[in-house]
Amino acid sequence: MDARAAAISKPIVLITNDDGIDAPGLRFLVDLLVATDRYRVLVCAPASDQSGVSHSVTWRHPLSAKRVEIEGAAAFAVSGTPADSASLGISGKLFDGIIPDLVISGINIGCNCGYHVVYSGTVAGAREAFLYGVPALAISHNWMGSKSTVNDLKLAAEVCLPVINAVLTDLRNKTYPEGSFLNIDVPTDVAHHKGFKITKQGKAMVRIGWEQTNENTPSMESYQTANIDVDMTPISEKNASVPVENHLLFKRVLSKRKMEEDEAEDTDHKALQEGYITITPLGALSHAEADAMTYFKDWLLHLADYSSSSL
């Protein structure tokens, strides 16, 4: 088999993220996959930090896709969200008709467990691929500013390689299930993790509040402000709003982490805090609790009782 045929026969992996195409987590993951020489690597990721944008998509204007030099990969920076990037990357329009076998979104700085899955652009990148029938993984590292270093992101990529290899092997053998995508969270102390654990999405989240401020600066930590000792481009301020008279400025602030006291042993955040690499199968739908469905079915039967405008 000649080199061209060998390259074509390799499984195709598309990498995206929400921290931006220059984020170290993405670069380490790409470098690792390229170094294995087992996969053809494509990159389609946001041109700038898009943390916390959830599954937002761009409708009202065209996206730009600018080619970026990443050794061993074909890469584009997109002027959109993680969901936009995943969608464009799997469309066949960007990479000359190529559809990836697997999409990996990450590696994110900060965990994406519990209710945070709703906010996560990282998870949205994987979910978007899944919605269109492309298998996907989201990978995040439980970054702690006082403990973590950029090398932990490199280790996170390395410890997740067996999962990536296993998924692609199952895809080749046509044994991989189609009903979910995987949300993977790597513990803070990557080097001493306790192994892999299959978990379910829990209810843990960091409560976020508001404070009034006089400074029009980013209020939440991103990879560009996470005490990472690498060369990063500052967050662009070209679109920053300029406060004028009678305008009030408010910034988001972390208040407290709410942990459900009855959170089970097999939930994502609990297992992550215990030092496991959590693997949580997710679907595209948000299901209500069974007791809520029972309540509302009964509630619907009594709607006529509320037809009067008086309560």
User: What tens digit of pLDDT does each residue of 33-91 get?
Assistant: 999 999 999 999 999 999 989 999 999 999 999 999 999 999 999 999 999 999 999 99
Distances in Å between the Cα of 99 and the Cα atoms of 20, 32, 41, 135 are 22, 21, 12, 11
Arithmetic mean of pLDDT over the chain: 88
**So what's the pLDDT on residue 243?**
52
Query: Please, which residues bridge with residue 205 across strands?
Result: 258
CATH architecture of 3-204+261-291: 3-Layer(aba) Sandwich (3.40)
In the predicted model, is pLDDT for residue 216 greater than 50?
A: yes
pLDDT above 70 coverage of the chain, percent: 84
Instruction: Give residue 265's pLDDT band: very low, low, confident or very high (50, 70, 90).
Output: confident
**So what's the pLDDT on residue 200?**
94
Residue spans of the domains in the chain: they are: 3-204+261-291, 206-258
In the predicted model, is pLDDT for residue 310 greater than 90?
A: no
- CA gap 45, 71 in Å, rounded: 16
- Tell me if residue 56 falls in helix, strand or coil: coil
CB distance 113 to 185 below 8 Å: yes
CB distance 216 to 297 below 8 Å: no
Q: Which amino acid is at 40?
A: R
**So what's the pLDDT on residue 100?**
98
**So what's the pLDDT on residue 219?**
55
Helix (H) or strand (E) holding 136: strand 136-141
Burial code (b: 16+ CB inside 10 Å, e: under 16) for 187-216 equals bbebeebeebbebebbebbeeeeeeeeeee
CB distance 64 to 78 below 8 Å: yes
Region 165-179: mean pLDDT is 96
Tell me the backbone φ, ψ of residue 5, rounded to 5 degrees: -65, -40
User: Would you put residue 227 in left (φ > 0), alpha (ψ -120 to 50) or beta?
Assistant: left
pTM for the whole structure: 0.87
Of 181, 169, 82, 86, nearest to 130 by C-alpha is 181
**So what's the pLDDT on residue 238?**
39
